[in-house]
């Protein structure tokens, strides 16, 4: 099933890139906060939107909390069908953000040619 | 001769008693200081948990336990991070919980489908201290931010909500 389209902002792209670095690697919320530098108030709504749209899959660790002495954590992974669209969206965003070469992209005249 | 010997013995025993007193008072002081520090630290560590409970109250009823279980797991990681000092850990965890308290409505609005919510018997996903915490009735009527923390039992302890959170609470 294809994921639903969502608005890819720079913040969303940053999160997606973390997942694309190693698609097999599950990521925890706190870990993502550390690597992206996003606070919880910014990261968790993005994760919730990506999960609701079918881009991310969230799952609970299977552990015995009383044995390991800590509550179980939840990890996120890209869904199988979202890997290609995520790569495509990142490439499109990168292209959009790359400054144009040649005269077409200039916003001011070159100094010293007047 | 005898009197000087007696004086030496008296002085010696007085010195011994003094040393014992100082040692005992020192041990007592250290113990009380350690107990107090532990109590204060535990009290402060309740604050981020209380904030997470408030955040859970702002979610849809079907999302609360699942999301709170996720946040509690991450909060535990924050509070037990080995390479940061206790005060830094506490500041980070309060910042984490405050962030979630602020954005809980947008997490609720994200449109999580029922099949994306982890189902379990009532309350079993959560640590015992957080089970059903969003059901706790407020007993402290004041609206100060201090009421956000779980007050000690001798103060009539319970989670209390400031009025804006109460107003936005989902059924």
pLDDT digits (tens, 9 = 90+) for B54-64: 999 999 888 89
How far from chain centre, in Å, is Cα B75?
Answer: 11
For B127-152, what is the mean pLDDT? Answer: 56
DSSP B110: T
- Write the pLDDT tens digit of every residue in A59-105: 999 888 888 888 999 999 999 999 999 999 999 988 888 887 765 55
Residue of B nearest to A29 (CA): B74
Q: What is the pLDDT at residue A73?
A: 94
The CATH number for A87's domain is 1.10.10.10
pLDDT value of residue B118: 72
Q: What is the pLDDT at residue A28?
A: 96
| The CA-based dihedral angle spanning residues A44, A48, A51, A53, taken in that order and rounded to the nearest 10 degrees | -130
Domain count along chain B: 1
Number of domains into which chain A is organized: 1
| Containing structural domain, residue A28 | 10-96
- Please state, in angstroms and rounded to a whole number, the distance separating the CA atoms of residues B21 and A26: 59
ipTM confidence score: 0.83
Range with the lowest mean pLDDT among B6-15, B133-142, B146-155? B146-155
Domain span holding position B21? 2-168
Inform me whether the C-beta atom of residue B166 falls under 8 Å from chain A C-beta atoms: no
CB pairs under 8 A between A and B: 78
Partners of A58 in the beta sheet?
Answer: A76
DSSP-assigned states of every residue in B48-104? HHHHHHHHHHTS-HHHHHHHHHHHHHHHHHHHT-TTS-HHHHHHHHHHHHHHHHHHH
pLDDT exceeds cutoff 60 at B146? no
What integer pLDDT is reported at residue B162 of this predicted model? 43
Nearest to B112 among A51, A61, A72 (CB): A51
Residue A58 touches partner B, C-beta closer than 8 Å = yes
Please indicate, yes or no, if residue A77 is contained in any of the structural domains.
yes
Mean pLDDT of chain B: 78
Residue in chain A closest to B130 (alpha carbons) equals A71
Read off φ and ψ for residue B138, nearest 5 degrees: -85, 140
Q: Establish if A28 belongs to a structural domain.
A: yes
**How close A72 gets to chain B, by Cα (Å)?**
6
Q: Beta strands A27-28 and A56-60: pairing type?
A: unpaired
A1 domain-assigned: no
Mean of pLDDT over chain A: 88
Residue A49 lies in a domain: yes
**What percent of chain B shows pLDDT beyond 70?**
74
For residue A31, give how far its alpha carbon lies from the nearest alpha carbon of chain B (Å). 9
Whether A41 and B100 lie within 8 Å, measured CB to CB: yes
Contact B100 A49 (CB under 8 A): no
pLDDT at B124 over 90: no
Tens digit of each residue's pLDDT (9 = 90 or more) over A16-44 = 999 999 999 999 999 999 999 999 999 99
**What is the percent of chain A where pLDDT is above 70?**
88
pTM: 0.71
Q: What is the pLDDT of residue B131?
A: 76
Report residue A34: phi and psi, to 5°. Answer: -70, -45
Q: Which residue of B has its CA nearest to A31?
A: B74
CB of A105 less than 8 A from some CB of B: no
């Amino acid at each position: 099933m294809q994921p639903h389209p969502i608005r890819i902002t720079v913040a969303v792209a940053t999160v997606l890139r973390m997942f694309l670095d190693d698609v097999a690697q599950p990521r925890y919320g706190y870990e993502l906060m550390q690597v992206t530098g996003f606070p919880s108030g910014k990261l968790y709504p993005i994760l919730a939107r990506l999960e609701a749209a079918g881009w991310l899959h969230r799952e609970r660790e299977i552990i015995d909390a009383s044995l390991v002495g800590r509550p179980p954590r939840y990890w996120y992974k890209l869904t199988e069908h979202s890997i290609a669209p995520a790569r495509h969206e990142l490439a499109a965003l990168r292209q959009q953000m790359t400054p144009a070469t040649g005269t077409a992209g200039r916003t001011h005249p070159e100094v010293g040619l007047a | 001769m005898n009197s000087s010997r007696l004086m030496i013995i008296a002085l010696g025993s007085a010195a011994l008693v003094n040393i014992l007193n100082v040692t005992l008072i020192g041990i007592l002081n250290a113990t009380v200081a350690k107990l107090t520090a532990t109590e204060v630290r535990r009290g402060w560590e309740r604050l981020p948990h209380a904030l997470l409970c408030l955040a859970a109250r702002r979610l849809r009823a079907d999302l609360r336990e699942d999301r709170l279980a996720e946040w509690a797991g991450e909060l535990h990681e924050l509070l037990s991070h080995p390479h940061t000092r206790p005060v830094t850990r506490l500041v980070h965890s309060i910042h984490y919980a405050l962030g979630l308290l602020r954005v809980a409505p947008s997490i609720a609005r994200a449109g999580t489908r029922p099949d994306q919510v982890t189902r379990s018997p009532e309350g079993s996903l959560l640590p015992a201290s957080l089970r059903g915490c969003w059901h706790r009735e407020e007993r402290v009527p004041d609206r100060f931010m201090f009421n956000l923390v779980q007050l000690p039992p001798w103060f009539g302890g319970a989670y209390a909500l400031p009025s804006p959170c109460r107003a936005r609470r989902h059924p």
